[in-house]
């Protein structure tokens, strides 16, 4: 009966409608990839699709995680900044959006990792503090392991976690140095954005490389190039900010 329908029922309906629209407007061969990237649903992807992404070094892109969440949150935050929203409201809106994305993507381990980190950052914003990203990553993984211990064997979570770690410990320090180095140079924002794009791509690629090698017994040497192409929207975000 309608009165007894659960939240999960409505979420499944929304996911189904999104998938129907994807099938309607996206070419048949590209739909499975779009569904994987937008909803975290790789059930329609063939083994050839997965193999192609793996060989390109961008398999982690099919796991809804921080990259996807940052695009969605970034769009809302940009709008809230334009209308000069107060910090507390921005934090509250962030949490709502994060939970909504987590629910729509079926609370997969990789999106839980990104979601928990985002919620920690929102709480820090609410308290006028700065969240430590590495500690947030560690805490998120601990919580996920407590809730579902088998997530430790989920390749999407592993790739999401190690690529995030690579960006935090390898890319971020280099990006900060680039900002200082090019601070007083003409077109410094463009130079910093381009160098940041490379550092982010390289950090994600170099940290996921051993995982791909371990899981699939192969190494993608074109991963750095494909990750740069994949990270193009990040450069746009950096230029806007």
Q: What is the DSSP string of 185-225?
A: STTHHHHHHHHHHHHHHHHHHHHHHHHHHHHHS---TTHHH
Choice between 239 and 24, residue whose per-residue pLDDT is larger: 24
CA 89-90-92 angle, 5° bins: 65
Q: What tens digit of pLDDT does each residue of 142-192 get?
A: 999 998 899 888 888 898 899 889 989 999 999 888 888 888 787 777 888
Q: What tens digit of pLDDT does each residue of 138-154 get?
A: 999 999 999 889 988 88
CA distances from 162 to 54, 138, 210 (A): 15, 11, 10
CA distances from 3 to 17, 192, 202 (A): 21, 54, 51
pTM: 0.72
Contact 197, 190 (CB under 8 A): no
Q: What is the C-alpha separation between 176 and 167, in angstroms, rounded?
A: 12
Q: What tens digit of pLDDT does each residue of 101-116 get?
A: 888 877 888 888 888 9
pLDDT at 127 over 60: yes
Contact 90, 77 (CB under 8 A): yes
* Sequence-ordered list of residues with C-beta below 8 angstroms from that of 130, at least 6 positions apart, any chain: 124
């Amino acid at each position: 009966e309608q009165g007894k329908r659960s939240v999960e029922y409505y979420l499944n309906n929304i996911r189904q409608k999104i998938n129907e629209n994807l099938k309607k407007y996206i070419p048949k061969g590209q739909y499975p990839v779009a569904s994987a990237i937008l909803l975290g649903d790789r059930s329609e992807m063939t083994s050839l699709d997965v193999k192609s992404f793996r060989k390109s070094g961008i398999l982690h892109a099919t796991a809804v995680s921080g990259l996807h969440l940052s695009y969605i949150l970034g769009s809302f935050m940009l709008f809230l900044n334009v209308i000069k929203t107060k910090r507390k409201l921005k934090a509250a809106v962030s949490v709502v959006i994060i939970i909504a994305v987590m629910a729509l993507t079926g609370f997969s381990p990789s999106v839980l990792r990104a979601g928990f980190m985002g919620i920690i950052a929102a709480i820090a914003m609410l308290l006028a503090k700065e969240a430590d990203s590495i500690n947030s990553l560690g805490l998120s993984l601990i919580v996920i392991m407590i809730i579902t211990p088998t997530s430790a064997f989920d390749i999407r979570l592993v790739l999401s976690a190690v690529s995030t770690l690579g960006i935090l410990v390898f890319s971020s320090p280099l990006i900060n140095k680039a900002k200082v180095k090019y601070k007083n140079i003409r077109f410094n924002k463009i130079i910093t954005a381009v160098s940041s794009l490379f550092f982010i791509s390289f950090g994600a690629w170099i940290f996921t490389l051993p995982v791909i090698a371990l899981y699939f017994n192969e190494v993608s040497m074109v991963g750095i190039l494909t990750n740069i192409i994949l990270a193009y929207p990040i450069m746009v975000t950096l230029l806007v900010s």
